[in-house]
Amino acid sequence: MAAVNKRIRILSILPSFQRSHCGSPFYTHESCTCCMGQGNLRYNSCTGSRNEEQAMQAVATMTSTEFDVYARLPQNAAKRLQLIDGEVYMSARPMPDHQRFVHDVADLIESLMSGGEVLEDINLHLAEGHNYEPDVIWLAADSACSETETGFTGPPELVVEVLSGSTAHLDKGPKFDAYEQYGVGEYWLADLNQMLVEVYRRDGERFLRLGAFGPADTVESYVLGKPVPLAAAFQRIKRSS
């Protein structure tokens, strides 16, 4: 009975859950047989067929406090959850090339910088209604982005996001706007299909586009204060012909 009461208390602080594609309440969607037990909108129309190119859609609305509770539930431990403009988005873990680039660009930045800290796939509370899991961030030694019990809060100096067919509309849309609005110093968008990194830096209250750079190029990073040769970041990417 105690376990049941605890579950009721947890659910009671969360918002009214929307329905999944099959009509199941969102919080029971994980066990829905027609959805293959995925609880993941990258599985089309509850048929269980995976589509990496399908744009992710919001599955519920929450506050940041409610999201912190929901994201820590045991059944969500293996899921990638983000709160964007107060809406919950859920995705599968990244593909191998995505992970290779994230690891290598983080190593590259760390090798160039004697101070600060490079982090991958951390929980970032950027602002109310904006709880992200950016691929890579770099924090200066005196960064306004500070560590908390659940991750970090505030704007990092540098954010790197790797695009996919299902997340590009978020990384280029509402997340771009939020990173710009809430003080991120520099934003890199990596497109592994095009083998390009699009770079934006802060110019007052807005982002200024510096250009798109490939494996043979060097990014003149304003926040890092050093040139960044991108060859090492792309060295393990296996493009399909």
- Do 219 and 100 share a structural domain? yes
CA nearest to 232, candidates 198, 197, 201, 186 = 197
- Do 202 and 109 share a structural domain? yes
Residue by residue, pLDDT tens for the chain (241 residues) are: 444 333 333 333 344 444 333 333 343 333 333 333 333 333 232 333 334 445 667 778 999 999 888 888 888 777 778 888 888 888 777 889 999 999 999 999 999 999 999 999 999 999 999 999 999 999 999 999 999 998 999 999 999 999 988 889 999 999 999 999 999 999 999 999 999 999 999 999 999 999 999 999 999 999 999 999 999 999 999 875 3
* CB-based burial label for 145 (10 Å; 0-12, 13-18, 19+): buried
Number of DSSP helices (H) and strands (E) in the chain, helices first:
6, 15
CA dihedral 34, 36, 38, 39 (to 10 degrees): 10
Domain that holds residue 169: 96-234
pTM > 0.85: yes or no: no
The dihedral through the CA atoms of 43, 104, 200, 136 has a sign that is: positive
The letter for the amino acid at 30 is E
- Do 208 and 134 share a structural domain? yes
Going from the C-alpha of 168 to that of each of 55, 117, 138, 174, 190, the distances in angstroms are: 8, 26, 21, 10, 10
Contacts of 130 (CB under 8 A, 6+ apart): 64, 83, 84, 85, 178, 182
Name the domain count of the chain. Answer: 2
Cα–chain center distance at 190: 13
CA nearest to 91, candidates 34, 165, 174 = 165
Q: Which of 58, 91, 124 is the last residue of a domain?
A: 91
What pLDDT does residue 55 have?
61
- Do 101 and 216 share a structural domain? yes
